[in-house]
């Protein structure tokens, strides 16, 4: 390489470093990252909306649909989430995000051409591989680009993506499905994913890239602890074990709820897919965003700095969700049912921010990324894989007795005990969390001294 070419390369990298430090670019990064995660996760809700059409076209049972939306997807997502997250700590994160979205897009396009259960399960597993890489890479990029209160604002915007994916999946997906059918709807989302992958690769800059010896260097501290040692430390933390168990049961309920709420509205209340997409797209996403924001404000204002009180407030919210879910599944009025769904989503979203903030405090700085990856892996591997599948199996067994209401019966049979189990885990957590948070803080201070 000539001196002139080295100078040109150095000038280009210097320009990208200056761009990466600008406020406009930083918030562009947050915006694009939010779009990437929202689109990557939208197919979960799109598949739920299209369940009835896919079931009829491919002649599938409820158990098969539950397996596709549950186990086939969750197994690959969960098992690859941690290694892809660790990979994002070692290579260019824009490349990880771009390749992940490209894989996701290709799999969604292929989903539009499936003709059997086996093919559908295979492409859903492939989509899980792509989805599992989108969040770790973009999450890490934002964390390195912002500090202090700026990071709080950035992450607040970023964490609206779970609610935006509901809007995209149900509203946009429902409109395309009404106009052109479920195959075109899925393929269109795949094309959108590939476009976002190209934009990410061309416009996102990883600040870890530098010209120090023409090698990549990291501005972030890297843990010297082995993975097994980190896992052992986390396992010995009683509160961490309880929060993982509690979120597994909670995710089991909510994953089955989202997988089957659209078919319930279709079968029990005779709503069209267009009506369902509007209610679950606009209504549910608005309820989720409002619940996240207002819940975070109330928790911080009323119980800020008191972990035990925040966990017990979350338990009250869970108990209210249990009541709302039971009323919804036994309702005979469509308007009443829709109001209960919106209320359930609002209340169920209210404590996510405060509880995940507590989770951060249960791990030392050098193992927080791993602790979150393991939590998400367990939630998806157990909660997402079992929830929809068990509801589908229960629905198939109850069909001979309840006919079109079998699905509501299955959701009630699975939903009630999982919520109660989550409440029990969080109650035990409330009794231990303050002491465990103090122990982790003392251990962190000891390492600094």
d(CA 116, CA 198): 31
Q: Of the candidates 200, 434, 187, 164, which has an alpha carbon nearest to the alpha carbon of residue 285?
A: 164
Examine residue 345 and state whether it is found in any structural domain, yes or no.
yes
**For the residues 19-35, what does the mean pLDDT come to?**
82
Domain of residue 242, CATH code? 1.20.1250.20
126 plus 258 within the same structural domain: no
Examine residue 2 and state whether it is found in any structural domain, yes or no.
no
Predicted confidence at residue 365, as pLDDT, reads 62
242 plus 382 within the same structural domain: yes
Predicted confidence at residue 343, as pLDDT, reads 96
Question: What is the average pLDDT score of the chain?
Answer: 81
Examine residue 29 and state whether it is found in any structural domain, yes or no.
yes
pLDDT at residue 8 is higher than 60: no
149 vs 181 pLDDT, higher one: 181
Residue 248 belongs to what domain range? 225-441
275 plus 197 within the same structural domain: no
d(CA 435, CA 23): 39
25 plus 140 within the same structural domain: yes
57 plus 92 within the same structural domain: yes
201 plus 247 within the same structural domain: no
pLDDT at residue 139 is higher than 80: no
173 plus 301 within the same structural domain: no
H or E element that contains 15: helix 3-20
Examine residue 291 and state whether it is found in any structural domain, yes or no.
yes
DSSP state of 1: -
Predicted confidence at residue 368, as pLDDT, reads 64
265 plus 325 within the same structural domain: yes
Examine residue 90 and state whether it is found in any structural domain, yes or no.
yes
358 plus 276 within the same structural domain: yes
d(CA 81, CA 94): 17
296 plus 334 within the same structural domain: yes
Examine residue 71 and state whether it is found in any structural domain, yes or no.
yes
Total number of domains in the chain: 2
**For the residues 113-132, what does the mean pLDDT come to?**
86
Examine residue 204 and state whether it is found in any structural domain, yes or no.
yes
d(CA 217, CA 222): 11
pLDDT tens for each residue of 51-97: 888 888 888 888 888 777 766 677 777 777 777 776 776 678 888 88
Domain boundary among 144, 176, 208: 208
Examine residue 215 and state whether it is found in any structural domain, yes or no.
no
173 plus 318 within the same structural domain: no
Q: Is the dihedral of CA 199, 201, 205, 206 positive or negative?
A: positive
16 vs 60 pLDDT, higher one: 60
d(CA 87, CA 387): 29
pLDDT tens for each residue of 226-283: 667 777 888 899 999 999 999 999 999 998 998 899 899 988 998 887 788 788 878 8
For the residues of 182-204, what is the DSSP string, one character each? HHHHHHHHHHHHHHHHHHHHHH-
d(CA 372, CA 356): 9
**For the residues 159-169, what does the mean pLDDT come to?**
79
Domain boundary among 183, 208, 233: 208
pLDDT tens for each residue of 297-342: 787 778 877 889 989 999 999 999 999 999 999 999 999 999 999 9
Are 68 and 389 contacting, i.e. CB atoms less than 8 angstroms apart? no
Q: Is the dihedral of CA 444, 446, 447, 448 positive or negative?
A: positive
pLDDT at residue 13 is higher than 50: no
**For the residues 85-113, what does the mean pLDDT come to?**
85
Domain boundary among 162, 182, 208: 208
395 vs 75 pLDDT, higher one: 395
112 plus 67 within the same structural domain: yes
pLDDT at residue 449 is higher than 70: no
pLDDT tens for each residue of 410-421: 999 999 999 999
Q: Of the candidates 291, 303, 445, 426, which has an alpha carbon nearest to the alpha carbon of residue 359?
A: 426
The model's confidence at residue 151, banded by pLDDT at 50, 70 and 90, is: low
């Amino acid at each position: 390489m000539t001196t002139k070419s080295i100078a040109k390369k150095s000038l280009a990298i210097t320009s990208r470093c200056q761009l990466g430090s600008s406020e406009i670019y930083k918030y562009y990064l947050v915006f694009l990252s939010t779009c990437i995660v929202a689109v990557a996760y939208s197919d979960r809700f799109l598949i739920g909306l299209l369940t009835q059409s896919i079931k009829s076209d491919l002649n599938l049972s409820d158990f098969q649909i539950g397996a596709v939306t549950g186990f086939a997807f969750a197994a690959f997502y969960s098992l690859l989430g941690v290694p892809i997250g660790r990979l994002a700590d070692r290579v260019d994160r824009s490349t990880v995000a771009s390749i992940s979205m490209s894989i996701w897009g290709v799999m969604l396009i292929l989903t539009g051409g499936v003709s059997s259960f086996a093919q559908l399960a295979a492409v859903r597993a492939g989509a899980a591989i792509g989805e599992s890489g989108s969040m770790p890479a973009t999450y890490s990029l934002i964390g390195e680009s912002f500090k202090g209160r700026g990071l709080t604002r950035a992450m607040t915007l970023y964490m609206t993506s779970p609610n935006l994916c509901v809007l995209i999946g149900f509203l946009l997906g429902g409109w395309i499905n009404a106009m052109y059918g479920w195959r075109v709807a899925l393929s269109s989302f795949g094309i959108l994913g590939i476009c976002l992958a190209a934009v990410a690769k061309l416009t996102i800059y990883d600040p870890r890239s530098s010209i120090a010896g023409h090698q990549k260097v990291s501005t972030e501290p890297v843990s010297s602890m082995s993975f097994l040692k980190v896992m052992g430390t986390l396992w010995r933390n009683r509160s961490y074990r309880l929060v993982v168990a509690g979120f597994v049961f909670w995710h089991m309920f909510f994953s089955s709820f989202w997988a089957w709420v659209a078919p319930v509205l279709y079968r029990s209340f005779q709503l069209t897919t267009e009506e369902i997409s509007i209610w679950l797209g606009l209504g549910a996403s608005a309820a989720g965003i409002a619940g996240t924001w207002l819940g975070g404000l109330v928790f911080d204002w009323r119980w800020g700095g008191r972990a035990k009180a925040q966990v017990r407030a979350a338990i009250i919210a869970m108990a209210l969700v249990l009541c709302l879910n039971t009323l919804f599944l036994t309702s005979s009025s469509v308007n009443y049912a829709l109001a209960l769904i919106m209320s359930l989503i609002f209340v169920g979203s209210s404590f996510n921010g405060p509880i995940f903030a507590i989770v951060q405090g249960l791990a030392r700085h050098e193992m927080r990324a791993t602790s979150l990856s393991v939590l998400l892996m367990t939630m998806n591997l157990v909660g997402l894989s079992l929830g929809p599948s068990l509801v589908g199996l229960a629905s198939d067994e109850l069909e001979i007795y309840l006919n079109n209401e079998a699905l509501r019966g299955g959701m009630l049979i699975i939903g009630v005990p999982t919520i109660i189990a989550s409440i029990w885990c969080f109650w035990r957590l409330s009794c231990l969390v303050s002491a465990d948070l103090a122990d982790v803080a003392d251990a962190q201070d000891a390492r600094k001294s």
